[in-house]
Structure 1
Amino acid sequence: MKETHTVEKKDSGVFLNVLAPRVFRWVASKAKARKAMSAGELLVNGQQVPADVRVSVGDVISYTTRKGGAVKSAHRKVFKQEIPVVYEDEYLAVLNKPGGLPVNGNHFKTLENTLPFNLKPSAQPDALGVMRPLHRLDGPTCGLVMVAKTERTQVEMGLQFENKKIRKRYQAVVIGAVADSKGTIRDVVDDKPSQSDYEVVYVKKSVKYGQLSLVKLYPVTGRTHQLRIHMSNLGHPIVGDKFYSGEVEVLQGKGLMLCSDRLEFDHPITGEHLELEINLPNKFTSYMDREARRN
């Protein structure tokens, strides 16, 4: 599919990667525009241009989406593992990913490879040949993952994620008693500004750790391992974390006590405000109760 746009006077001198997301609905961000330019999908006057090009009045810019997903899907191996579906329609779906299953990557056993087994394909004209997760959860983390079924959903929800319009909540069991009932952590992650808000649900005694806290976590930014790093920096690593728990013994067979249990967003097609929530896995509260009874 090819779209074109003639540059108007008011946009003369604007960087192409800035203008493209404004005029092409399938170009969700400046980053995607740069990628399309590099791939020869985003052209000026029919020519491939460097990343720092500015457009002039009268320039014709074109964007061509390269389909072929259906062919790829036909030869794609399907991982037949049942995954609970929390929400599904023609445009998107939300699934409850179990801990230990990667969202995607160079593996066969991924959430992405289970999608044809668990979801109905979209009948929309812009249906994706391969349904795509719109965000990632760490492999050890369980909980809600949103999936795009159509190109428009992929673009629109990509913008919502980029503009921080999607509210995500996690719950975690952390080591120790978190002193403040509410707070904000702004420690830099990967040399980038990062923010996580937290709220303590309750604290219980623990023979193993002294005390354990159940906390709600609200990531404002979305850096890799952000919540795990922030809670560790606060002095309260998440139970079961192999990488950020310091000398604390990792629980055998319990996994990481971190769950993405709530997503709140506006539907990209209908505009309906959706609030999706799952129950916290039993192991979270049962582990805390068992530790408390051992005293």
Structure 2
Amino acid sequence: MNLLESNTVPKLEKPIRFQEYGVGIFNTIPTKSGIKKAIKKELIFIDGILATTSKYIVGGEKIELYQSEKTPTFNRLQLDLEVLFEDDYLAIIYKPAGILVSGNKFVTIANALTQNLKKSTLFDAVKPQPIHRLDNPTSGLLLIGKTSNAIIELGKLFKNKEIQKTYFAIAIGKMKSEDFIDISIDDKKAATDYKVLQSVVSKRFEYLNLVKLQPKTGRKHQLRKHLFSIQNPILGDKEYFLENKVLNGKGLFLHAATLAFIHPFTKEKIAVSKELPKKFTKIFPD
């Protein structure tokens, strides 16, 4: 057998069964059922001894995954993500435009998390999960939960509107310098604050505006629908657009720039920002 992957366990808060700890430590086995199958096939060793599902991990062990000659080649997802904040409870990563957060596709942010984040040492560690969504064409910050309790508590923060999100977009046409959009979406209350930071004259679009957006609710496609509703759709939007004013080939000019909230466990103020993509600064260089 050939050694496929090796993992040294960090100091743990308290002992944990290997079948729980092992989820996510190997790139090639991201699930609990996969860990069980590898144990059954005698492919995992802990400190040189065959692993069992009931074995307790206390910290400091060397865990090795071997590849049997009969083992088929795994199709691994290779997707490097930029991690802007991480601790044992949560992480904040940058989602590039054009990649799904989750779903049935092979290339998703959710499928790439275990290879980009450190395994939590806490007793309730789980496979990292996105807490909210960003549309496929939207770039920006995405909040990730790394333990079962963190996923629950972060979900509560979103539900109680205790996470402040700031987006930037480039919108088409002449706009008020600032406004509050209060237009229901799918018969549900939806509200967005916006402020125009810069404007430039455009031969094709009349004006292009760099707009700061702060959603007060979290409806699907809220920012895109709200700007379209006031006849100022986002540049590059192919779902919500004005006739003859669709920009092709550059993607959607919508970026989730900041996340700010009180950490539900450490109680520290978390505030993370990500600069505008280059396609924004080509139009608004300052």
Do they fold alike, i.e. is TM over 0.5? Answer: yes
Q: Which residue of 2 aligns with 1:276?
A: 272
2:31 is matched with which residue? Answer: 73
Kindly state the Cα deviation for residue 190 of structure 1 after the two structures are TM-superposed. 1.1
| Residue equivalent to 2:96 | 98
- Distance across 2 between alignment mates of 1:195 and 1:242: 22
CA distance in 2, matches of 1:92, 1:165: 16
Are 1:212 and 1:288, in contact at CA under 8 Å, matched by a contact in 2? no
CA drift of 1:80 comes to 1.5
- Give the one of 145, 166, 175 matched to 1:178: 175
Q: In structure 1, how many angstroms separate the alpha carbons of the residues matched to 2:190 and 2:234?
A: 18
| Alpha-carbon separation, structure 1, partners of 2:284 and 2:247 | 13
List per-residue Cα deviations over 1:99-138 (Å, max 9, x = no partner). Answer: 000100111110001101211111110101x210000000
User: Is 2:171 the partner of 1:213?
Assistant: no
Q: Select which of 84, 87, 94 maps to 1:86.
A: 84
C-alpha spacing 1:231/1:126, structure 2 compared with 1 (3 Å): same
Distance in 1 of aligned mates of 2:265 and 2:115? 24
In the TM superposition, what is the alpha-carbon distance from 1:69 to its structure 2 partner?
A: 9.4
Kindly provide the amino acid, as one letter, of the partner of residue 79 in structure 2: Q
- AA of the residue aligned to 2:89: Y
Structure 2 counterpart of 1:243, one-letter code: E
Structure 1: unaligned runs, 5 residues or longer: 1-66, 290-295
Tell me if structure 1 keeps the 8 A contact 2:110–2:130: yes
User: What is the aligned partner in structure 2 of residue 20 from structure 1?
Assistant: none
Q: Which stretches of structure 1, 4 residues or more, deviate above 6 A after TM superposition? A: none
Deviations 1:189-223 (A, max 9, x none): 01111001111111111122111110000111000
How far apart, CA to CA, are the structure 1 residues paired with 2:284 and 2:273? 22
Percent of paired sites with the same residue: 42
For 1:227 and 1:215, the matched residues in 2 are separated by 11
**Which structure's residues are more often strand, by fraction?**
2
Residue in 1 aligned with 2:46? none
- Deviations along 1:274-294, whole A, 9 cap, x unmatched? 1111111121120356xxxxx
Output the TM-score relative to the length of structure 2. Answer: 0.73
* Equivalent residue, structure 1, for 2:13: none
> How far apart in 2 are the matches of 1:248 and 1:162?
38
The one-letter amino acid of 2:116's match is N
- The letter of the residue matching 2:133 is R
List gaps (5 residues or longer) in structure 2.
Answer: 1-19, 24-28, 35-73
Of 84, 109, 112 in structure 1, the residue corresponding to residue 110 of structure 2 is 112
Instruction: Provide the aligned C-alpha RMSD in A.
Output: 1.9
In 2: Cα distance, 1:263 partner to 1:161 partner:
11
Matches for 1:129-278 after TM superposition, within 5 Å: 130-179=127-176, 181-278=177-274
Deviates more, 1:76-85 or 1:156-165: 76-85
More helix by share: 1
**Matched residue pairs, number?**
221
